[in-house]
Structure 1
């Protein structure tokens, strides 16, 4: 029988998963189902790698041509660490799709230079893993793209997005991840970041927000309520799908009841539930 462990921490991505669809959260965190790599997500990873590595160079050498030239090499490095990504272009015998895909990554990297000047930046941290435990016992964790610290000590959290900036009515959802990071920094270091900055390379826009303590306290209350809901679902095994237009992008439609599928046998023990016969477990997971 498949075994798993209950979730013990929360990241911005997994929090967003649960808010989008509890069953999606279960598939990713409890069942640990594999996700197919996508061209868009992989391009985002590639662009992030270039923008991180660019700061290894002296300030004067951080130019757009230099950054563009880094793209093919960083793609090779990414393939070395994740060979499964080669499947994205397995049927691209002539290499035309790959060439166009890399060219788009180069355009996104170059667009960044119209939004920020890396020759005037010296990040305090890049790809910073952060983790803290709240008084409630909930552990929060995540990876911040870039942290800038001014000479006066003010902190700016920066996140790169390879898509387009959302419409104003969806701005709050876009800022959730950044407020999550700000909360972690505040609880970890006792410092409220001065600015949260989202850099949208797809549309060439920058979104900023200056948080206050009250903002972060609201986020903390929201996360605690979210965690209580996750714990309740974990203990009961009741993970309801939440159909939205995003379902069309989900890798797990074949297992979703909304599309006539059956989820895998729940790998955690549910108090009071009857044990699943071994042969049924094999049938369901085969």
Structure 2
């Protein structure tokens, strides 16, 4: 028997069904229940706004790194990484072709600098590996950018390409990284505690060593969010209007929400951002540096 958004309702006497959760799914509801409804409940899914340039950059860099590690050992060179990036690059979200070209060159420079710090013989244990774990409430799953082996333990590596360097607080506070640790422990059945954020633009690494307590805190918060989702879903089943059960949380974030075209409250809250606005403001001033 199906419930709202395809979720299965529990039957008397049956074991409690675990809530299927990904880091993005839980984060979406925590940020704005209305956006969660648009993404995971409403069918067909409401139209989204245009894609973003910074996501284009991040996707291309991630894809190039994955392909670089998948390549034969003798092809793991900086030049090859740049060609891999060029092969997957698109102009999506940029102001114009010139801006896209500058950012393609800049991202190629990040790859060159980053791979100079990487041992191409140090084969990862996993690349974009799907991992999963369960709690009494949740069925957690996620995809890890890279899993390294350091001594007897595995390490979760997450690539970052945003404008601000990552910090230890970000590594410690990231629910996604905590879920990945749990997933690696369960899926690969190997010790794993350390998470690393590799910020390619700055060449820095932010790391944190999880403990049983820190992981338990993340699980508790995730289960609280899942309970709130279940409550909102049940309210709709009980006849409450979906707009009331999944209210909009308005703020500056409405300027870049994917579902802004479908959300009058978000449109009224703040002006829309340009799709390239999360790139550094000095883009034009850095033409020469980006063209290396």
SS at match of 1:194: strand
Deviations 1:100-125 (A, max 9, x none): 232232123223235x3132421011
Structure 1 residues 57 and 166: alpha-carbon distance in aligned structure 2, compared to 1, 3 A threshold: closer
Which residues of structure 2 form unaligned runs of 5+?
Answer: 9-18, 236-241, 270-292
Q: What TM-score results when the alignment is normalised by the length of structure 2?
A: 0.73
State the distance in 1 between where 2:215 and 2:267 align: 38
Q: Could you tell me which residue of structure 2 aligns to residue 57 of structure 1? A: 71
State the distance in 1 between where 2:20 and 2:185 align: 18
1:33 aligns with 2:54: no
Q: Could you tell me which residue of structure 2 aligns to residue 162 of structure 1? A: 161
Structure 1 residues 168 and 19: alpha-carbon distance in aligned structure 2, compared to 1, 3 A threshold: same
SS at match of 2:254: helix
Cα shift at 1:47: 0.5
Cα shift at 1:180: 1.6
Aligned residues: 243
The CA RMSD over aligned residues, in Å, is 2.7
Q: Could you tell me which residue of structure 1 aligns to residue 103 of structure 2? A: 101
Greater shift in the superposed pair: 65-74 or 160-169 = 160-169
Cα shift at 1:64: 1.9
1:241 aligns with 2:248: yes
Q: Decide whether the 8 Å contact of 1:23 with 1:239 is kept in 2.
A: yes
Residue in structure 2 matching 1:42, options 47, 56, 59:
56
Deviations 1:56-77 (A, max 9, x none): 23445422222112212233xx
Q: Could you tell me which residue of structure 2 aligns to residue 141 of structure 1? A: 141
Q: Decide whether the 8 Å contact of 2:171 with 2:208 is kept in 1.
A: no
Q: Could you tell me which residue of structure 1 aligns to residue 290 of structure 2? A: none
1:72 aligns with 2:86: yes
Residue in structure 2 matching 1:251, options 250, 258, 263:
258
Cα shift at 1:258: 4.7
Deviations 1:136-167 (A, max 9, x none): 3x2111110001124x4310110101112246
Q: What TM-score results when the alignment is normalised by the length of structure 1?
A: 0.74
Cα shift at 1:191: 4.0
Q: Could you tell me which residue of structure 1 aligns to residue 20 of structure 2? A: 9
